[in-house]
Amino acid sequence: MPGGGLTTRGPRNLLRQIREAMAGAAPAQERLDTVVRIIAQSMVAEVCSIYLRRASGELELFATQGLKPEAVHKTRLRPGEGLVGEVARSAQPISLSDAPAHPSFAYRPETGEDPYHAFLGAPLLRGGRAIGVLVVQNRSERRYDEDEVEDIQTIAMVLAETVASGELLGQEELRDIEVAPHRPERLKGQLFAEGLAFGHVVLHEAPVPPENLLAEDPQAEEVRLHEALVGLKANIDKMLEGGQGGLAGPSFEVLETYRMFADDRGWNRSLVEAVRTGLTAEAAVDRVRNEHRARFAKARDPYIKERLHDFEDLANRLLRVLAGDRPGERELPDDAILVARNLGPADLLEYPRHKLRGLLLEEGSAASHAAIVARALQIPCVGRLMGLRDRLSEGDLVIADGETGEAYLRPRPDMLAAVESRMQVRSQREAEFAALRDTPAVTLDGQRITLLTNAGLAVDLENLDAVGAEGIGLFRTEFQFMVSDELPRLDSQTALYRRVLDTAGRRPVTFRTLDIGGDKVLPYLETEREENPALGRRAVRLGLDRPGLLRLQLRALLTAAAGRELRVMFPMIATVDEFRHARELVDVECAWARRRGRALPDLLRVGAMIECPSLLWHLDALLPLTDFVSVGTNDLFQYMFAADRTNPLVADRYDPLSPPALRALAEIQRRCADTGTPVSVCGELAGRPLEAFALLTLGFTRLSAPAGGVGPVKRMILSADLGAARRGMANLLGSSSASVRGELESLARKLNVTI
């Protein structure tokens, strides 16, 4: 390779030749053969080969210039086999001066590559995953320089996008290629929010289309990139400045780290170098994002993986700055199914609600922010769909099955017909629930059940009347903090709480104080890395460590509730002393308001959430101090069973309808009944008919369910005879089984309870 790199510096001319070859009318194989011939000639290489990954994971030689033609479509390498397999495995380029001497070298006699020593391979990356490998080889033992490595990576990027988009090969040729976005597929994930919908894919991370990869004016693109980076950093600086007025002197370490990433020399240099090779600014961002994704995704350290999300979000923000828009301003189809790897607290709310039909995620958990928002919006959400993003293209038809936790990609007509039939059945059921909206929740034997709803977003307030709930049993105050770029000030917090109380009218509202930490991280609050954040400084622990933050929220609540009832409860109380200290802060704020002649609530009730198992053996000390308690079954059970509910590897290793869980609930209900302490259940269990049936049989008469669960649970209540059901449950509590779900279902059927 005399002169180093392309015969004309920079791959711009080569990329244009490749595009012209792809646009030709020749058969697909001829066009691919032309592409490798052009690359070999331009890079003064004696061999150029393209390998693509089959659905089996094998890398198949699809085209070559220099190796034996008869090896095409015959030579296949297993995952990790040979240097080509190593390039795909590592998702990194490999440059060698003497390839046969490398321990990973695998000799295939049918290719005739014996004479070639110099080897340069680059992965075809899409979504951070290698879908193929581009290789150039030479006879002489020489080391390819940095410019040549940069050039082949740029070419590989363009080839990856054109192969995946179907421009280079047609549907028939891509039939067995893993990137093929054409055939129907079914992916099994996890149910995050119930419902059923089909529609057209909208990618949260909008890809850069192949026609927008090459720059007409590289210098102008570099200027665009520079201006976009300046704008991105200015936005982050604005967020930092807005947070400086926060209480308790937060250093905003996370946001400053975020700003540090935006100013990272390596990241900026990679972007500029990619543009200088002839890519558009958008293509440069996409390429660098792919490279970071491929590198970081292999890390085992959770902290390093979190940094990948930082870079991902920076890249997405930079692409939006370049496009001059926001997700909420994008043109969406009326039947949009949003597809993303993961979503932050505010992302989903930025999209027009009336056009969203469903949400599909590669990552996340049922307890994630996106899942909670999806349940509030009452749109089906399925997560943990591995490989989803790389299997879909913008506009693909897809089914989000929030009943089975599955996604159907490009479904067949008969599958669509079956889903439409199921949707009609769901519509009929929803009409039945709507008809019960104003019917009191009274069992067949006359037991009155108070049925409340959980809330936290503005849309939840609309659901309050729609589902006929008797109040809000759990208002998650942290959402206001999570969707804000800075700490919400006193007046904005007060306005929200006042609006909630105004909407509820005479119906009770229970406000849960700020529950952040763990998986709920606020970028403008100082945080420290914790090995196990679920057991770390979160919820009331954070509030007690930063009394200024908690006092500000309590002040807003007291102000908003002036002249009416205020119900406040503290989350994650683990010791009686924690509740005492938290309640003392309420007293301090009440005294502060009285000294200034400010109006206070007519009735103030302060409660605790029971979600730490330690309280089960100290209820005799806690209950006399509280005005009410609420059982948070989501956290209570994850701590009881030592199984992180956000971790898909262990979240399903226990059943909440197991004797240990039910006995714990029975003990809480009995102690509350003995002391006359009002008790409710506000976890996810309260919104599922069978689980709610179990709660009623244990003696609970106050349930707070997600909006979508109010109707089904009320229908169950109206069909239940609790006297007979409680006798049946008493026998199940002594079971030695891991779960009594089957027995409960049998009991419900025997008693004609609608579940």
Residues noted as catalytic:
369, 682
Could you give the residue ranges of the DSSP H alpha helices within 142-280? Answer: 146-165, 218-243, 253-262, 265-276
Neighbours of 598 (CB within 10 A): 13
Per 3-state DSSP, the chain is made up of helix, strand and coil in percentages (nearest 5) of 45, 15, 35
- Report the b/e string of 404-436 with b at 16+ CB within 10 A: ebbbbbbbeeeeeeebeeeeeeeeeeeeebeeb
Q: Evaluate whether 499 touches 459 at the Cβ level (below 8 Å).
A: no
- For residue 634, give Cα distances in angstroms to 140, 246, 642, 664, 705: 64, 31, 12, 13, 12
For 96-122, the three-class secondary structure string (H helix, E strand, C coil) is: ECCHHHCCCCCCCHHHCCCCCCEEEEE
Q: What is the DSSP letter of 689?
A: H
Question: In this structure, what DSSP letter does residue 487 have?
Answer: P
Contacts 24+ apart (CB under 8 A), 634-642: 634/367, 634/683, 634/684, 635/572, 635/611, 635/683, 636/610, 636/611, 636/612, 636/664, 636/683, 637/661, 638/534, 639/611, 639/612, 639/613, 640/613, 640/664
Pairwise CA distance, residues 159 & 137, whole Å: 18
Question: Closest by alpha carbon to 74, among 58, 90, 97?
Answer: 58
> For 214, which DSSP code?
B
Q: What is the DSSP string of 640-684?
A: HTT--TT-TTTTTSS-SSSHHHHHHHHHHHHHHHHHT--EEE-SG
